[in-house]
Chains A and B, each alone.
Chain A
């Protein structure tokens, strides 16, 4: 009597493959994609009281300020100075003011006559490098105010404080 000595015994890989592919998909989706509005070179300070941006304010202007106090524009933004030179950084507060005034005009034009097509951005989120001096930060804050923006928030890494 044969006890199946010739039968081939194979492990079932299909559920294992399903699981692995699901894990691969998870890591692919959670991969640290560089967000358009943020700059990875900016090292933010940390704060316990920092709150997440309100869901109603999903349309804000992000200004990435580096260690030297220069605003680094995102890939989709460019600035043309008074001499017609195109740059991807804003080197002083006056350039920040001009840039924001232009942005406000663009937003108002995009909003349409009733202002309902695309609401203009009213909040500025400042992502300032933690080594940047207050002198530079304050100059940018003043430029925001002069451009007509009243809501400015400083961005920080949220931490629990349990250290």
Chain B
């Protein structure tokens, strides 16, 4: 019977140097931890676009059972683009425009009160934001945010009519 003779009795264990790899990994980890900056979460606020004023342009009309309540918030801006004065009015109503000063909190409270009343009547509402052209985007979004949080889904930002200033 043929027997195989084992050659080289010394068994050499393969040695994988982990330490330098670990050093490099720690350096990479440190780099990514230091440079890590999570991206802010972005979201959208939907808005109704202005009417197409060109001749012959057709604006789609959607049938509604109940005519929506029209509410207008007019905002004038200071020279630096911040809010100067806010008034709220309902076109066609006997109530005059209500002056809310320059605080967005006052607008929020007033809109919430109006929205609650309309909700009880089960009446849709349309909020028109008449904004000063100088008003900066930060306040535009802040006012739209206030409107949405108060319960208005149909928001339309438009510039103040220069004839009605």
Chain A contacts to B: CB under 8 angstroms? 13-14, 16-17, 20-21, 23-24, 27-28, 30-32, 44-53, 125, 127-135, 137-138, 141-142, 144-146, 149-158
Contacts and interface: CB of A to CB of B under 8 A. Distances in A.
Interface residues of B, number: 49
Contacts of A157: 40-43
A27 B37 contact: no
Interface of B: 18-19, 21-22, 25-26, 28-29, 32-33, 35-47, 49-52, 54, 57, 60, 81, 131-138, 140-142, 144-145, 148-149, 157-159
A103 B159 CA distance: 27
Consensus secondary structure, chain B interface? mixed
A144 B81 CA distance: 24
Among B38, B43, B142, residue most surrounded by chain A Cβ atoms (within 10 Å): B43
21 contacts: A14-B18, A17-B22, A24-B32, A30-B36, A31-B35, A49-B45, A49-B144, A50-B44, A51-B44, A128-B137, A130-B138, A133-B133, A134-B131, A134-B136, A146-B57, A150-B49, A154-B140, A156-B42, A156-B44, A156-B45, A158-B43
Nearest to B147: A49
A119 B137 CA distance: 31
